[in-house]
C-alpha cells in the first residue's frame, strides 16, 4: 500500500502519524551511532501526519510534527505502523524556512 492514500477517516481531534525513523539507535550529526540503551533523558520524536480528524485545526496531512513517544497508541495498517494521538499531545509543527529570514523555525 505504498504511496496510496489511507482509507481511514480519523475522528474528532485524533491524528494518525507515521514515524520518521525507527525506535532505538540513532545517528548524531557527526555520524556517531548512538544505541538505544544510551538514552538518558526523555526525547521528543518527529513524525509525518498521515490523517487528521474533522476537529483538528493546527496540522494537515503531510506535515511533520514533534511529539512525546510516551503516551501513544500504535496501529498497523497495510503492514505499516502508525501512531494515534490527540492534537493537544503535539509539541510543534515543522514548516519550511522562509528564504533568508532570521529566527528559529522547527
Domain ranges of the chain: 7-21+42-95
Query: Any bridge partners for residue 89, and if so which?
Result: none
Distance CA 53, CA 55 (A): 6
Question: pLDDT by residue for the chain (106 residues), tens digit each?
Answer: 455 555 777 788 888 888 765 555 667 778 777 776 665 567 788 889 988 888 888 888 889 999 887 777 888 887 888 889 998 888 888 877 655 555 566 6
Q: Are 16 and 78 in contact (CB under 8 A)?
A: no
Q: Are 48 and 18 in contact (CB under 8 A)?
A: yes
- Give 8's contacts (C-beta < 8 A, 6+ positions apart): 16, 51, 77
Grid coordinates belonging to 72: 501513544
Q: Are 19 and 52 in contact (CB under 8 A)?
A: no
Domain covering 7-21+42-95 in this structure, CATH number: 2.30.33.40
Amino acid at each position: 500500500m505504498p504511496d496510496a492514500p489511507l482509507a481511514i477517516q480519523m475522528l474528532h481531534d485524533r491524528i494518525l502519524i507515521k514515524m520518521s525513523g525507527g525506535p532505538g539507535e540513532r545517528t548524531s550529526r557527526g555520524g556517531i551511532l548512538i544505541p538505544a540503551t544510551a538514552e538518558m533523558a526523555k526525547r521528543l520524536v518527529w513524525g509525518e501526519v498521515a490523517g487528521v480528524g474533522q476537529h483538528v485545526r493546527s496540522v494537515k496531512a503531510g506535515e511533520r510534527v514533534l511529539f512525546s513517544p510516551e503516551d501513544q497508541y500504535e496501529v498497523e495498517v497495510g503492514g505499516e505502523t502508525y501512531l494515534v494521538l490527540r492534537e493537544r499531545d503535539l509539541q510543534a509543527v515543522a514548516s519550511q524556512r522562509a528564504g533568508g529570514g532570521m529566527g528559529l523555525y522547527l
